[in-house]
């Protein structure tokens, strides 16, 4: 979710951001595709149902803040993230429809406007970000975007080795990216 927010911000503001560089991991590029993937039977059972109940629990703790705006009983009956978003998130943020919310929140269509170096690490086996929805061609057209795709890694896993221990591929790549920005960031202003 944080990566989606960051990419949407960077796409909206372009090169005017005070940030010098950014990195995202396991971004859901197209929320329609993410939602569709999470609604497949096994993914619904393993992830969607649990995450929906977590979202419901979170908002139910603060129910008194929302009851004048939203039918909270209806929210608590949602059986998927999409239903939760339709009944709560899109309403809370003033969208006319859930489709409007999903369109606006999906960062794939703003990638072309990113104006600073951004590392985007995704895995093609991530059920939260299906590979067919990763904007490979758009990333190729923006010299500020480095889109790194791995065959395996799931959703923010990126474990390494036969017996994965502490370090992950994600941590290693992030460390290298930050190191490069520290050592060579001054060169970016000359480009």
User: Do 18 and 60 fall into the same domain?
Assistant: no
Angle at 181 between CA 178 and CA 185, to 5 degrees: 165
Q: Is 41 exposed, middle or buried (0-12, 13-18, 19+ CB in 10 A)?
A: exposed
3-state SS, residue 140: helix
Which residue among 86, 105, 124 closes a domain? 105
Q: What is the CA radius of gyration of the chain?
A: 18
Per-residue pLDDT tens digits for 93-146: 999 999 999 999 999 999 999 999 999 999 999 999 999 999 999 999 999 999
User: Do 128 and 141 fall into the same domain?
Assistant: yes
Which residue among 40, 75, 105 closes a domain? 105
Per-residue pLDDT tens digits for 53-82: 999 999 999 999 999 999 999 999 999 999
User: Do 90 and 114 fall into the same domain?
Assistant: no
pTM (two decimals) = 0.87
User: Do 132 and 163 fall into the same domain?
Assistant: yes
Query: Domain range spanning residue 143?
Result: 1-30+107-191
User: Do 58 and 42 fall into the same domain?
Assistant: yes
User: Do 22 and 39 fall into the same domain?
Assistant: no
Percent of the chain with pLDDT over 70: 97
148: left (phi over 0), alpha (psi -120 to 50) or beta: beta
pLDDT, residue 157, reads: 80
Average pLDDT of the chain, as a whole number: 92
User: Do 116 and 166 fall into the same domain?
Assistant: yes
Which residue among 80, 105, 130 closes a domain? 105
Per-residue pLDDT tens digits for 77-96: 999 999 999 999 999 999 99
In the predicted model, what is the mean pLDDT of residues 17-45?
Answer: 95
User: Do 89 and 134 fall into the same domain?
Assistant: no
Question: To the nearest 10°, the Cα dihedral for 63, 66, 69, 73?
Answer: -20
């Amino acid at each position: 979710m944080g990566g989606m927010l960051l990419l949407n911000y960077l796409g909206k503001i372009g090169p005017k951001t005070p940030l010098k560089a950014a990195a995202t991991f396991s971004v859901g590029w197209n929320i329609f595709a993410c939602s569709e993937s999470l609604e497949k039977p096994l993914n619904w059972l393993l992830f969607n149902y649990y995450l929906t109940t977590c979202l419901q629990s979170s908002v139910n703790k603060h129910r008194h803040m929302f009851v004048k705006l939203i039918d909270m009983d209806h929210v608590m009956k949602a059986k998927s993230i999409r239903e939760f978003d339709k009944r709560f998130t899109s309403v809370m943020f003033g969208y006319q429809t859930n489709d409007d919310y999903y369109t606006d929140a999906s960062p794939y269509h703003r990638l072309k406007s990113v104006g600073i170096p951004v590392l985007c690490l995704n895995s093609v086996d991530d059920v939260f970000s299906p590979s067919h929805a990763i904007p490979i061609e758009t990333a190729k057209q923006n010299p500020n975007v480095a889109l790194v795709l791995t065959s395996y890694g799931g959703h923010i896993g990126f474990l390494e080795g036969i017996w994965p221990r502490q370090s992950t591929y994600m941590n290693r790549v992030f460390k290298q990216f930050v190191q490069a920005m520290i050592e060579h960031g001054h060169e970016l202003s000359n480009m």
